[in-house]
């Protein structure tokens, strides 16, 4: 079987991480515009004010994508760039930028996949309570409607949220990401519920104002990998993957809490046992809205954890001493892209797309003027083999997006971590396609046949 003949091969970015032009052409402030300037929040004092200057170098970047053979590009719209106050008056210059980007992509034979929200929340709406405000789902609906009306005539693939676990969990629970708060479940559970309502309203708006479009959802979560392929260990890994951790913060990073309501129309029972008391009154009536039909289910997936059976439950197994890690110290666990999609497809029965996968490397320009990154080629090769195995075992795998098209602002790590297929000199804005970008071009042309 291998990959489908119409398999979607692509690369991904996010607005705040590459665009720059943070204070130009009528753009409003996002929470990241403020957070990245707080002392001590971002490594080496970096910020996204300029980033990769994609706002000004967009046509050059699209030309580079075409040269690299990328036919599908996942990017996000900056909510405050098109709606400076989050709602109300439209910034036509911001809309024009995305229209120009979409037109340029299509002119070069590249299919746009638009993520509505990849974390750069409007500061004006944060000041009104952000996702805790009961009106917040309607704010997101208004924004989704604008994107559908202005871009939906040409964009046929939309994703509502990128990693809600992170923009809620890291933003409002651990405080590691913007807006940098630490709040209890009594506050954050209602925020998460409002975000899911916003997802449902956005799906309805996209269906109404961009008829015929395809809509997906892209949460995240470390895959659980059975230590052995025995029935007991596989069942233990499945249980670990979809369990809702019983600790003050663990629930917010779970797969099931964020995906069961969206796809299955109910919250997971184990989570409700201790989180239901924090849900807003009448939450049950919201589930029909939240569970809008989707065309595909996506996940960002980078690594996994080993699990084995222990009695009726499971236990985590530490990786061996010296196990390979990326420059970011994330473990290299290729089987995550077999077991993750397999378990998710068993549970949700939706066409599946990997919307992010890749690794940070200690990349630099060599004396020959090129960037050699064999570790990234090895990483992607192994992970794609695992994804190919999932497809061959019956998982309806529709696509894979490499993270990332280019080195960029890696949130709290600033520019100290490089995930790109393209090397970016942050001082000169020079782009150099890495060896991995050339390798990936061949993989895409061969549809992964020779992995």
Full 3-state SS string of 328-379 = CCCECCCCHHHHHHHHHHHHHCCCEEEEEECCCECCCCCCCCCCCCHHHHHH
The DSSP 8-state label assigned to residue 264 in this structure reads: I
Of 19, 104, 141, 356, the active-site residue reads: 356
Of 104, 163, 410, 417, the active-site residue reads: 163
CB 300 within 8 A of CB 218: yes
Is 356 among the residues known to form the active site? Answer: yes
> How far is the C-alpha of 413 from the C-alpha of 415, rounded, in Å?
6
The candidate with the shortest Cα–Cα distance to 405, out of 8, 3, 101, 18, is: 18
CB 294 within 8 A of CB 215: yes
Can you tell me which residue has the tokens 């797309």?
353
> How far is the C-alpha of 229 from the C-alpha of 203, rounded, in Å?
38
The DSSP-derived string for 145-163 is HHHHHHHTTT--EEEEEE-
CB 401 within 8 A of CB 12: yes
Cα Rg of the chain, angstroms: 21
Q: Name the CA dihedral angle for 202, 101, 7, 399, rounded to a multiple of 10 degrees.
A: -50
Residues noted as catalytic: 163, 356
């Amino acid at each position: 079987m291998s990959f489908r003949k119409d398999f979607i091969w692509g690369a991904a970015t996010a607005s705040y991480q590459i665009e720059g032009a943070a204070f130009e052409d009528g753009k409003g402030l996002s929470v990241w515009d403020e957070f990245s300037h707080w002392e001590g929040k971002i490594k080496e004092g970096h910020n996204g004010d300029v980033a990769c200057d994609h706002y000004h170098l967009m046509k050059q970047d699209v030309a580079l994508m075409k040269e690299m053979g990328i036919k599908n590009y996942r990017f996000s719209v900056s909510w405050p760039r098109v709606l400076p106050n989050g709602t109300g008056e439209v910034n036509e210059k911001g809309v024009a930028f995305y229209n120009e980007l979409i037109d340029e992509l299509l002119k070069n034979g590249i299919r746009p996949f638009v993520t509505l929200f990849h974390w750069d929340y409007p500061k004006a709406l944060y000041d009104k309570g952000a996702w805790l405000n009961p009106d917040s789902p309607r704010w997101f609906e208004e924004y989704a409607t604008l994107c559908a009306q202005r871009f939906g005539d040409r964009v046929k693939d939309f994703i509502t949220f990128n990693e809600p676990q992170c923009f809620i969990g890291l933003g409002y629970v651990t405080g590691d990401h913007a807006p940098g708060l630490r709040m209890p479940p009594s506050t954050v559970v209602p925020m998460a519920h409002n975000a899911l309502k916003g997802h449902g309203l956005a799906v309805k708006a996209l269906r109404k104002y961009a008829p015929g479009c395809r809509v997906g959802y892209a949460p995240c979560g470390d895959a659980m990998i059975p230590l052995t392929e025995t029935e007991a260990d596989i069942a233990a890994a499945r249980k670990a993957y979809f369990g809702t951790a019983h600790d003050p913060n663990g629930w917010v990073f779970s797969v099931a809490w964020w995906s069961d309501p969206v796809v299955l129309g109910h919250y997971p029972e184990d989570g409700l046992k201790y989180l239901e008391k924090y849900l807003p009154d009448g939450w049950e009536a919201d589930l029909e809205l939240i569970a809008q039909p989707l065309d595909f289910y996506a996940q960002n997936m980078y690594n996994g954890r080993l699990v084995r059976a222990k009695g009726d439950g499971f236990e985590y197994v530490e990786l061996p001493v010296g196990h390979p890690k990326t420059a970011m110290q994330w473990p290299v666990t290729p089987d995550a892209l077999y077991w993750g999609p397999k378990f998710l497809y068993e549970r949700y029965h939706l066409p599946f797309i990997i919307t992010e996968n890749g690794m940070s490397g200690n990349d630099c320009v060599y004396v020959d003027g090129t960037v050699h990154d064999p570790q990234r080629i090895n990483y992607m090769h192994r992970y794609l083999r695992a994804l190919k195995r999932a497809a061959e075992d019956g998982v309806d795998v529709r696509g894979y997006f490499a993270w990332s098209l280019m080195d960029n602002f890696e949130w709290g790590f600033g520019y100290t971590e490089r995930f790109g297929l393209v090397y970016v000199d942050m001082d000169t804005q020079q782009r150099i396609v890495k060896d991995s970008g050339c390798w990936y071009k061949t993989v895409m042309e061969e549809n992964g046949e020779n992995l």
